[in-house]
């Protein structure tokens, strides 16, 4: 029986397409360097470990390495700390130094005790598809140099491993170590190009020592020749050792995409629920023959009142309409070349969200774009006495947020003083509301006067233009009668 039979035809089509995208994302990941991630000189070579405490104090094992990782990651938010389980190293046309399984980790530090906390995200535990694809006989095949498609055997084997991987719900070193070994055995038994990879014991492997051999270069003026130097394990035939490593890497977008799509497909398949109705409408409109209208709410007048009363920046008619569209429609798209005021409009949307007591998250691939928006709205949301109305995530964000939480706790620790301050703020707010109402009333009166003046100007302008036209016609159509 078709496993999708319990879904509507539209849902079946959407699941099939998303599944296709998910599988394709797995097949095009051989561009991240994960097949040699343990030897990444730019980000620092990997660190081998037997066991790792998730709470490491000064002077304990691996504290210095983790402290260095923490400092680096605070300045490089596009990088992550990974733990690799099960390792294949050696050469087969190219050098490999890759874990079988990887998991992303957050690294935090207590600034008082200087304790380092490693927080593995079990949801990111994944097979190193990059390595498997790179080792595949199809890697950089001229007929398939874009996707590097995995073979049918590879896909079937990986699907079996993935189904077992889903059963790991919590982080446990021994359990994941054991699973890494079982995964290698499965790959070795089922995939042709894994069958010649020999397994060695942990006692035969020392990453630091092998790295020293690998990195050694004989002096140029010496008698030792490069070809005569000792070869490292990375330069010999491929071997597998069930060893663990810490390493830094760029966050692989394709792996994240695979996991996100996989989770999305499972949710739709198992619960028949898209979770987000707007996404559901977009997918149905794009992938099926059905057409569903995107809802539009008649709230433009309400938004205009918010603009008049709460938005302290000037807006053009187009920007006002863009803001109204953003709130009136389930989804809105604003486009335009540089310098046309998109960031200004986004700033107005953020301010209007705050005025309506809503939360808003602003994301961008470019830091500069976020800085522009932050610079526009921050002055309106900060009182100069420590109160912050916006959380801007940059290099020092964690420290700022931590300090701000401490400030808020301090401000609210004395309930009597807090109530007194709150009362003062409310009184001041009422005074400002009264002043604002009066100013808006004056503004409305001035606008009425201006409208009347403009109406008169248009009226007399029309009369003047008519007069000038008639005067010109008279000078052409009529001639002065000669005297005498």
Q: pLDDT tens-digit profile of 162-184? A: 888 888 888 998 999 999 999 99
Q: Is the pLDDT of residue 118 over 50?
A: yes
Q: What pLDDT, on the 0 to 100 scale, is given for residue 101?
A: 94
3-state secondary structure 340-376: CCHHHHHHHHHHHHHHCCCCCCCCCCCHHHHHHHHHH
Mean of the pLDDT values across residues 7-19?
Answer: 80
Q: What percent of the chain has pLDDT over 90?
A: 32
Q: Kindly give the pairing relationship between strand 198-199 and strand 239-250.
A: parallel
Rounded Cα–Cα distance for residues 307 and 355 (Å):
9
pLDDT for residue 137: 57
Chain segment 229-283, per-residue pLDDT in tens: 789 999 999 999 999 999 999 876 555 677 678 778 888 888 777 777 888 888 8
Per-residue confidence band for 143, with pLDDT thresholds at 50, 70 and 90? very low
What tokens does 317 get?
Answer: 């008619």
Look at 1-5, 79-83, 404-408 and tell me which has the smallest mean pLDDT. Answer: 1-5
Burial 248-277 (b: 16+ CB within 10 A, else e): bbeebebbebbbebbebbeebbeeeebeee
pLDDT of residue 142: 40
148 confidence band (pLDDT: 50, 70, 90) = very low
Per-residue pLDDT, 272? 76
Residue 340, judged by CB atoms within 10 A of its CB (0-12, 13-18, 19+), counts as middle
% of the chain surpassing 70 pLDDT: 86
Average pLDDT estimate for 114-125: 90
Q: Phi first, then psi: what are they for 367, rounded to 5°? A: -60, -40
| pLDDT score of 479 more than 70 | no
Q: Is pLDDT of 323 > 60?
A: yes
**Residue 132 CA: distances (Å) to CA of 43, 139, 246, 303:** 22, 9, 20, 54
49 contacts 64 by C-beta, under 8 angstroms: no
More confident residue, 401 or 118: 118
Tell me, rounded to whole angstroms, the distance of Cα 406 from its chain centroid: 28
pLDDT of residue 5: 46
């Amino acid at each position: 029986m078709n496993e999708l039979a319990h879904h509507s035809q539209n849902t079946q089509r959407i699941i099939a397409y998303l599944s296709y995208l998910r599988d394709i994302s797995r097949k095009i990941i051989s561009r991240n360097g994960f097949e040699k991630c343990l030897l990444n000189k730019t980000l620092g070579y990997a660190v081998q470990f037997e066991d790792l405490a998730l709470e490491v104090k000064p002077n304990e094992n691996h504290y210095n390495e983790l402290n260095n990782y923490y400092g680096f990651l605070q300045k490089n938010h596009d990088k992550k700390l990974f733990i690799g389980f099960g390792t294949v190293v050696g050469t087969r046309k190219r050098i490999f130094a890759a874990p079988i399984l990887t998991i992303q980790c957050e690294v935090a530090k207590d600034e008082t005790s200087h304790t380092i906390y490693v927080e593995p995200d079990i949801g990111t535990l994944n097979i190193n598809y990059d390595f498997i694809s790179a080792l595949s006989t199809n890697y950089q095949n001229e007929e398939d140099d874009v996707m590097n498609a995995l073979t049918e055997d590879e896909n079937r084997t990986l699907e079996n491993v993935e189904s077992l991987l889903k059963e790991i719900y919590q982080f446990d070193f021994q359990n994941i170590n054991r699973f890494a070994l079982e995964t290698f055995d499965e790959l070795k038994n089922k995939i042709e190009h894994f069958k010649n990879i020999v397994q060695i014991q942990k006692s035969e492997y020392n990453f630091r020592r092998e790295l020293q051999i690998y990195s050694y270069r004989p002096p140029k003026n010496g008698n030792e020749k490069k070809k005569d130097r000792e070869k490292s394990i990375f330069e010999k035939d491929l071997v597998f050792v069930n060893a663990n490593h810490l390493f830094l890497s760029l966050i692989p977008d394709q792996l994240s995409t695979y996991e996100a799509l996989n989770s999305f497909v499972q949710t739709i398949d198992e619960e028949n629920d898209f979770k987000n109705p707007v996404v559901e409408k977009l997918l149905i409109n794009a992938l099926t023959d059905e057409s569903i209208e995107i809802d539009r709410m008649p709230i433009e007048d309400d938004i205009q009142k918010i603009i008049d009363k709460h938005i302290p920046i000037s807006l053009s008619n187009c920007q006002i309409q863009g803001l109204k569209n953003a709130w009136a429609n389930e989804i809105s798209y604003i486009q335009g070349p540089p310098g046309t005021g998109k960031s200004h409009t986004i700033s107005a949307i953020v301010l209007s969200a705050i005025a309506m007591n809503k939360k808003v998250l602003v994301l961008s691939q470019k830091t500069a774009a976020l800085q522009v928006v932050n610079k526009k709205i921050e002055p309106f949301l900060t009182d100069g006495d420590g109160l912050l109305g916006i959380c801007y995530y940059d290099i020092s964000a964690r420290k700022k947020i931590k300090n701000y939480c401490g400030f808020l706790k301090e401000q609210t620790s004395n309930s009597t003083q807090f109530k007194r301050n709150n009362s003062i703020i409310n009184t001041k707010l009422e005074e400002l509301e009264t002043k604002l109402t009066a100013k808006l009333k004056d503004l409305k009166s001035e606008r009425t006067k201006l409208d009347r003046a403009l109406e008169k100007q248009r009226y007399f302008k029309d009369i003047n233009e008519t007069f000038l036209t008639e005067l010109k016609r008279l000078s052409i159509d009529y001639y002065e009668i000669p005297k005498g």
